[in-house]
Each structure stands twice: as structure tokens, then as C-alpha cells.
Amino acid sequence: MEQYPLLFAFSDKVAGKGYLAVVTVHGTALAAKEDEGWWVYGVKPGGLAESGVTLPEAYIEFRKSLLRVLFDLAAEAPDFYAFRKAATEFFSEVNEPTRGEWEAARALVRQGKLDLEGIRHETAESPRRIDIKELQTLALTPEDNRLEDEELGVAA
Amino acid sequence: MLDACAPGWTKTETEHHYCVKWKGRTYPSLSKGKHGKKAGAGEVQVGQVRQLVRQFGIINCAKKHLGVLQ
């Protein structure tokens, strides 16, 4: 089975009860080519996995699923601080067996024995984290509109 | 399988997923399959079950109950 160590990062907005939050995730995932197609398994956060016919499709489903978890947490949280706590806890749960496979795949990348065509190498030393900020909506202006950076790389 | 390998597990339904919890561990993204809103979704896929049992640390027990995890 082909397995690839991924690093990903994205930002998105999450609306809660009386607040709007910007959530930036710098996470880790393992991509695996299996009989039924591609799977992307979360390492940190570890509580999700999604599939697709191609790796880009699987990653897009993974990304959507992660965002939907954040939406679910926002729906349950009574306020921003409870949402931030719940989202941080969700992100912090590492899937240890999947992390072991991720480490093994990263070792192969570092030895030059494994690569994913078309996806750049990223250093795995960049910290994995989730940042959650509350937007002060009354202070927003159209100048705050921007395309959010999104990153996907092979850990090297 | 969860009754045998994760006794006391709980499942709650959110808008988008089933959230499964056991002994302080959480798998918040279990697909609702045909019951959910995702168009064309089948039942829970083996990859999600595989990830869930890994998240809960019950791989060896789960393999005894679900041959598809072998």
C-alpha cells in the first residue's frame, strides 16, 4: 500500500452563537492508496478520515469533513470560548497508529525513496497548531476580504 | 464490535456526523451514510471504521469482530 505523509494548512470562518471565528489549522494527515481508492487519514487532528477516487478528491472531502466538525462544535458551544476549547481539544487528539505510519512514510521521503508528483515538500518541523480568533465584526470593512492561503505538502 | 471492544461507548448525532466517544477519546466525524445530507453517500466506509478503532486503540479486538479490518 502506498502511503504519503502530508502537511496541510487552511483558514476558514466559523459562525457560532453570537460570534464569528477565524480558524486556521496547520495539521498532519496520511494519504493512502488502497484497493477502493485514495484515503486521507487524520494524524493531528486524528478523528477523521475521508476517501476519493483521486488524492485531490480525497483531500477535498477530508477538508470538508474537518470544517463540518468545526461547524458541529460551534453549534453545540454556548459561546466563543467554549467553541475554542472544544475545537482545540478536537485538534489535539492525535491518532497514534496513523502517526506511526506517517513517521515511517516521512522517513522514506527523507531517504529519497518516496515522493508524490506535483506536491511540494514541506519541512515537518513547522509547528502543527490550530489558531482560533474571534472576529470583531463591527470593525470589519471590505478591506478585510482576502483569499485565504491554503497549503498541502509532503512532509520531508 | 464497539459493544465488545469499547464497552460504554456513546454516540451522539450532530448536524453533519455521528460523534462517537469512549474513555476520553472522540471520533467526531463518523459518516451518517444514507441518513446524512451528503448526496450519493453509502453506508459507513471501512476506512472510517479503521480510523475510529485506531483512534480508540482497539485495533486488535476490532479485527476479531470485523474481518474487513484484517
pLDDT of res. A83: 97
| Partner residue opposite A95 with nearest CB, options B17, B45, B55 | B55
Query: What are the pLDDT digits (tens) for A47-63?
Result: 999 999 999 999 999 99
A124 pLDDT band, cuts 50/70/90, is low
pLDDT of res. A147: 72
Edge to edge, what strands does the sheet with B25-30 contain? B10-13, B18-22, B25-30
Q: Which of A125, A100, A107, A90 is nearest to A30 (CA)?
A: A100
| Partner residue opposite B17 with nearest CB, options A68, A93, A95 | A68
**Is A72 within 8 Å of B25 when comparing Cβ atoms?**
no
DSSP structural state of residue A71: H
Q: Exposed, middle or buried: residue A37 (CB in 10 Å: 0-12, 13-18, 19+)?
A: middle
pTM for the full model? 0.91
B40 pLDDT band, cuts 50/70/90, is very low
